[in-house]
């Protein structure tokens, strides 16, 4: 009878959460009757807490107050630790219903630090409703969403996303509030769509229902949006976005190109050969159209489209459905995502294309923030390196070049570093000053940097298509090489590592350029040797 009473109580709660307007009542009444007949305080406490949760969800203040009073008496008598925290959270929500935010905050304040996830979740919900300032409400709602997602409870997550939308709306962030409301409407909660629409004052539910009838599944869209939000670095954001678009439209191949130096450059591809597919011109022209118009481009059937069907690559690749999404931040163009598939079905609706474009815009904004943060961090690191080098040059004997090489080698983790002075006619490049192990100098790499005046970083020189045919690269077995000019001295900084160093988005090169600029200025100064 104890087990039956507990099962009926949970059944009643589940029926309420599934949207059954009346079916929840009988199981909860039966569970309470069994608890009273058994005289079991533990079971009665469980039933009272569930009945209190349902009463709060229904907004039935009188019923909630009665259940809370009965539960408080039971908890005071039995001292159940888990029940104490859960009751405090529910009473905080009751205080919200009663219009007493001060009491709600006092009850909910300690709960987020509780080890009991149920109590912590209830406390965060209360603080997300009445906490101050608005930013604190946003933080509390985000915490509640995280707990609900950890439970895998779409019903709870919908309610928490609504709280997050309301908190974001209070801060004036309408776009983020709209996104949270849409995520709430996509969850398995019978009231979420209507509540989101009421909250935002716009037809969120209607817009989502239109999307749901298209090719883009709203649940998968929401999942990808959340994964993007949890991805901190620029490359990870790009890779996640490409996988998301491929998944959402059912494609198997695509690429992401970054826009650098006035042209599109390969970042990474899935199911495509960059040299064959992009260089034929079709992929580049579609990508550039989307990028420079800053508008998502959807070609229903490229092979039959009058604008694109004459392209050789369209015929060679049998391209049909094509989607290109610009990655445009507030003040910069970052790149473009391009995907295609052979099948025409399912066709994308206008809402589908808008959603894909919004996903790309969200990723682009996050990538822009990550890039700005990385640039700032690199600038600070470069400043610190130059300051350290300045101290060494001030306190040590005036051998600026050797101190500079040591600092550069330490900054990137190279085994060897060399200062290459411009050779006399017919001679080879050689290290005038060296630091670390013997410097394996590739004459072709040094000559290239001297001719272009631009820094070069080869993360796998022997495996690079451009450099693997060079004799010096193969003979030396080069892996990672950094080579860059040192100001106007016509000298070169040349560093080598025996391993393939992980790509860091050019941060190491930026550090080396800062050091090279500093030492070049120092040597040019009259105080130099």
Q: Which tens digits make up the pLDDT trace of 50-72?
A: 998 888 887 888 988 999 999 88
**What does the chain come to in residues?**
529
**pLDDT confidence of residue 172:** 82
Residues 6+ apart with CB under 8 A from 237: 228, 231, 363, 366, 367, 370
Name 341's bridge partners.
321
Rounded to a whole number of angstroms, the CA Rg of the chain reads: 32
Which ranges of 281-399 would DSSP assign to H, the alpha helix? 282-293, 312-317, 350-395
Report the chain's mean pLDDT, rounded to a whole number. Answer: 79
Residue with tokens 């069994």: 34
* CA 149-47-104 angle, 5° bins: 60
Tell me the whole-structure pTM to 2 decimals. Answer: 0.46
Whether pLDDT at 311 is above 70 = no
Neighbours of 114 (CB within 10 A): 19
Q: Residue 361 CA to chain centroid, in angstroms?
A: 12
**pLDDT confidence of residue 475:** 60
pLDDT band for 153, please (50, 70, 90 cuts): confident
| Burial call 409-435: b when 16+ CB within 10 Å, e when fewer | bebbebbbbbbbbeeeeeeebebebbb
pLDDT band for 423, please (50, 70, 90 cuts): confident
Q: Are 55 and 67 in contact (CB under 8 A)?
A: yes
Counts for the chain of helices (H) and strands (E), in that order:
21, 10
Q: Residue 275 CA to chain centroid, in angstroms?
A: 29
Classify 225 as helix, strand or coil: helix
Neighbours of 450 (CB within 10 A): 17
More confident residue, 465 or 162: 162
**pLDDT confidence of residue 487:** 83
Neighbours of 232 (CB within 10 A): 11
d(Cα 69, Cα 79) in Å, to the nearest integer? 15
- The per-residue pLDDT for range 245-297, each reduced to its tens digit, is 999 988 878 888 887 767 677 667 776 665 555 455 445 677 778 888 888 88
């Amino acid at each position: 009878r104890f087990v039956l009473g507990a099962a009926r109580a949970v059944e009643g709660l589940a029926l309420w959460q599934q949207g059954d307007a009346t079916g929840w009542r009988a199981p909860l009444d039966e569970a309470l009757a069994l608890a009273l007949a058994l005289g079991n305080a533990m079971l009665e406490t469980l039933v009272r807490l569930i009945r209190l949760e349902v009463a709060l969800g229904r907004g039935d203040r009188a019923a909630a107050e009665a259940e809370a009073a009965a539960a408080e008496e039971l908890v005071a008598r039995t001292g159940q630790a888990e029940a104490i925290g859960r009751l405090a959270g529910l009473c905080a929500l009751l205080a919200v219903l009663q219009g007493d935010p001060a009491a709600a905050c006092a009850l909910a304040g300690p709960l987020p630090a509780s080890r009991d996830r149920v109590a912590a979740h209830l406390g965060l919900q209360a603080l997300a409703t009445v906490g101050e300032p608005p930013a604190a409400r946003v933080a509390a709602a985000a915490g509640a969403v995280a707990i609900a997602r950890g439970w895998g409870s779409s019903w709870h997550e919908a309610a928490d996303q609504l709280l997050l939308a309301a908190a974001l709306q209070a801060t004036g962030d309408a776009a983020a509030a709209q996104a949270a409301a849409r995520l709430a409407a996509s969850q398995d909660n019978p009231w979420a769509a209507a509540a989101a629409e009421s909250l935002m004052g716009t037809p969120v539910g209607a817009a989502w229902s239109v999307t749901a009838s298209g090719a883009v599944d709203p649940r998968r869209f929401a999942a990808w949006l959340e994964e993007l939000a949890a991805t901190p670095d620029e490359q990870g954001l790009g890779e996640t976005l490409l996988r998301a678009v491929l998944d959402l439209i059912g494609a198997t191949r695509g690429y992401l190109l970054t826009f650098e130096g006035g042209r599109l450059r390969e970042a990474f591809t899935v199911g495509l050969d960059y040299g064959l597919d992009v260089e034929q011109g079709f992929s580049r022209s579609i990508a550039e159209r989307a990028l420079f118009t800053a508008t998502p481009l959807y070609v229903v059937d490229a092979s039959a489209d009058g604008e694109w069907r004459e392209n050789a690559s369209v015929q060679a690749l049998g391209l049909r459905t094509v989607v290109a999404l610009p990655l445009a931040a507030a003040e910069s163009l970052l790149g473009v995502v391009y995907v295609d598939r052979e099948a025409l079905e399912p066709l994308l609706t206008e809402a589908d294309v808008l959603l894909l474009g919004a996903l790309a815009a969200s990723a682009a904004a996050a990538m822009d923030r990550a890039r700005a943060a990385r640039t700032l961090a690199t600038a600070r690191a470069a400043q610190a390196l130059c300051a350290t080098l300045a101290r060494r040059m001030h306190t040590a004997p005036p051998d600026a070049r050797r101190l500079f090489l040591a600092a550069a080698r330490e900054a990137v983790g190279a085994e060897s570093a060399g200062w290459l002075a411009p050779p006399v006619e017919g001679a080879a490049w050689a290290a005038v000053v060296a630091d670390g192990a013997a410097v394996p100098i590739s004459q072709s790499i040094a000559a290239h940097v001297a001719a272009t005046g631009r820094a070069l970083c080869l993360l796998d020189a022997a495996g690079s298509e451009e450099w693997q045919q060079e004799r010096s690269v193969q003979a030396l077995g080069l892996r990672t090489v950094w080579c860059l000019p040192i100001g106007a001295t016509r000298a070169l900084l040349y560093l080598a590592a025996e391993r393939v160093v992980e790509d860091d988005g050019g941060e190491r090169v930026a550090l080396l350029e800062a050091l090279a600029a500093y030492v070049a200025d120092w040597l040019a100064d009259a105080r130099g040797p």
